[in-house]
Amino acid sequence: MSFNARLADRLHEMAALLELTGANRFRIAAFSKAARAAENHTQDFSSLDDKELIAIDGIGKGVAAIVRELSEMDEIEELNALREEVPDGLIDVLDIQGLGPKTVRQLWNDLGVTDRASLKKVIDDGSILDLPRMGQKTVDNIKTALTFASKSSERLPLGLAAIVADRLVERLRAVKGVKQCEAAGSFRRGRDTIGDVDILVVASDPESVREAFCEADDVEQVVARGETKCSVRVKIATDTGRWKGQAKANATVGADLRIVPAESFGAALMYFTGSKEHNVRLREKALKQKLTLNEYGLFPHDKNAEGSPQSRGVKPVASKTEKQVYTKLGLPYIPPEIREDIGELDLDESPKLIGLDDIKSELHAHTTASDGKMSLEELVQNSLDRGFHTIAVTDHSRSSVQAGGLSVERLREQRGAIDQAQAEFGKDIKILAGSEVDILSDGTLDYDDDVLGELDIVVASPHAALTQDPKTATKRLLKAIEHPMVHIIGHPTGRLINRRPGLSPAMDELIAAAVEHDVALEINAHWMRLDLRDSHVRAAVEAGCKIAIDCDDHAPEDFDNLRFGVATARRGGLTPELCINSWSKTKLHKWLSSKR
């Protein structure tokens, strides 16, 4: 794990522990913001001096001292003290849906709850009802959430969350009387992992919507069913089709339905999309303009009035659309993917981020010659069906034995087959003869230069030795970037979400080298990878580095993963100009040829 990742983990832990001790909320927010800064920065914080650290947004003198302490001592004294003060299992209790820091503190201080087991005990013996404002209905909801907590201990990868979100939106839009229905939350923001799925609906017949949401066959448990909000546990159901075997048996995810008035839909969509930090900044901006912003709309602010503005009959100045609310606050429309409090509220105009329609080529794909499930002809036809002007055939190189890597002889035979396919499909699409060439542990490539020179495109990727230390990994990848015949570095860290952390190279060095040597860094769009990750993309965009968005296609359905790669690209602020897959056929092939 990189230093920045370790630092972010500890800062997040400090923020959580401070919440449980009832610390000042501004101090808690400062640690959370510093943790996000560490996550999003590509330069190793341990290599920076205090002046350089403090220049980073979110890092103050106190956090700079913590960085130095962790770097020199490999521990943080204040964190150690907090760990002594707060029982080990209490953060796990804080993760239970429906339990906030204040309630968890009460459970701890008044009832001796220190972990999930002791929480279950006070629920079973009824003593939890002794807490102020703790009714039986609330207890029942906590009990249900506790029952399912073990099934949702890990955040769900974006691709698996999409199964549920897409299914729910399709189902609810089909209900008679539904006028608007959208997925919100971290799913809409395109985060690589999702805690739960949020759905917003405007409907003339709310009961029909509640029935469709709560009584479907894939609902394992109804957690709550109210007039405007319902919560359920939904089966992910990946036992068949393209997702087979990708989720644990009987795995579920939480899903929340919120039924909102049509006049408040925009404000509600903004509020429930988040992020929390983005919403806080928006509310602060509203207050400075003597306005109040909540999930119902943007209202004139009256600090002396009691109750919410809508309960007092006050009309909103903006609420129907997100754009309307942003405009009234003097802001351009902020795309959901960048609503993370990372400077987006300082923008003068809405950024023109890359979209699905901008992608015109696929430059990383496999056939049955290695470990793919498509013949060459099937790969080309699927690419034509997507409207691409170029498809690159990049089967594995010889060291990937387990993936059927091609020997030099087989690679050259495949070139002949590609030439034949080009003759057949030439009027409609350009077929590139390439390879996904292994970057070996010392940074050398898996084919000799004379073989690489015969290829139209080289995607160099790390597949083995993915536990190398950061210094060795950096040296290894730099050597591949500096190779004159490499076009793209595929999935640069080799991570698998929730399964394998992959390499932790110095990304700022890799990005600088990629710019110098005119190499593109790949966002591998498969939802298990999303590598480059969003913070890496952001740094690459700032440096002017070329980016490829590729699906690493092995089967026809893998083309559908493009949406996840584009979401990651948008989170990093990528525009079409820097994405080689969005270039015209002429521009792309001119660049490819320039490295030959």
Secondary structure (DSSP) of 392-446: EE--BBTT-GGGTPBPHHHHHHHHHHHHHHHHHHTTT-EEEEEEEEEB-TTS-BS
Shared domain check, 243 and 117:
no
| Residue 183 placed within a domain | no
Which residue bears the tokens 């390879």?
435
Is the confidence at residue 173, as pLDDT, over 60?
yes
Domain with residue 247: its CATH number is 3.30.460.10
Give CA–CA dist 348/355, Å, rounded.
Answer: 21
Give CA–CA dist 329/305, Å, rounded.
Answer: 22
My answer on whether omega of the bond before 407 falls inside 30° of 0, hence cis, is no
Shared domain check, 374 and 239:
no
| Residue 320 placed within a domain | yes
Shared domain check, 337 and 255:
no
| Residue 188 placed within a domain | no
Shared domain check, 474 and 361:
yes
Mean pLDDT of 81-96: 88
| Residue 128 placed within a domain | yes
Mean pLDDT of 511-522: 98
Mean pLDDT of 82-93: 90
Give CA–CA dist 20/94, Å, rounded.
Answer: 8
Shared domain check, 464 and 532:
yes
Shared domain check, 486 and 438:
yes
Shared domain check, 8 and 47:
yes
Mean pLDDT of 463-489: 97
Tens digit of each residue's pLDDT (9 = 90 or more) over 401-459: 989 999 999 999 999 999 999 999 988 999 999 999 999 999 999 999 999 999 999 99
Choose one of 259, 282, 300: the last residue of a domain: 259
Which residue bears the tokens 């503190």?
105
Shared domain check, 271 and 253:
no
Are the CB atoms for 40 and 59 separated by under 8 Å? no
Domain with residue 39: its CATH number is 1.10.150.110
Shared domain check, 76 and 215:
no
Mean pLDDT of 199-210: 98
Paired tokens of 319: 């609420």
DSSP 40-74: H--S-GGGS-HHHHHTSTT--HHHHHHHHHHHHHS
Shared domain check, 105 and 7:
yes
| Residue 181 placed within a domain | no
Choose one of 210, 244, 259: the last residue of a domain: 259
Domain with residue 310: its CATH number is 3.30.210.10
Shared domain check, 475 and 380:
yes
Cα diameter, the chain: 81
Q: Quote the pLDDT of residue 455.
A: 98
| Residue 187 placed within a domain | no
3-state secondary structure 359-397: CCEECCECCCCCCCCCCHHHHHHHHHHCCCCEEEECCEE
Domain extent, residue 162, equals 156-175+194-259
| Beta strands at 488-489 and 520-524: parallel, antiparallel or unpaired | parallel
Categorize the per-residue pLDDT at 391 as very low, low, confident or very high, splitting at 50, 70 and 90: very high
Give CA–CA dist 105/448, Å, rounded.
Answer: 63
The total of structural domains in the chain comes to 4
Q: How far is CA 416 from CA 148, 231, 430, 433, 596, in A?
A: 55, 57, 15, 9, 20
Q: Is 491 left (phi over 0), alpha (psi -120 to 50) or beta?
A: left
| Residue 207 placed within a domain | yes
Looking from the CA of 186 toward its CB, the CA atoms found within 13 Å total 16
Choose one of 346, 366, 393: the last residue of a domain: 346
Is the confidence at residue 331, as pLDDT, over 90?
yes
| Residue 138 placed within a domain | yes
Shared domain check, 405 and 384:
yes
3-state secondary structure 266-320: HHHHHHHHCCHHHHHHHHHHHHHCCEEEECCEEEECCCCCCCCCHHHCCCCCECC
Mean pLDDT across the chain:
92
Q: Quote the pLDDT of residue 240.
A: 43
Of the listed ranges 246-250, 359-363, 558-562, the one predicted with least confidence: 246-250
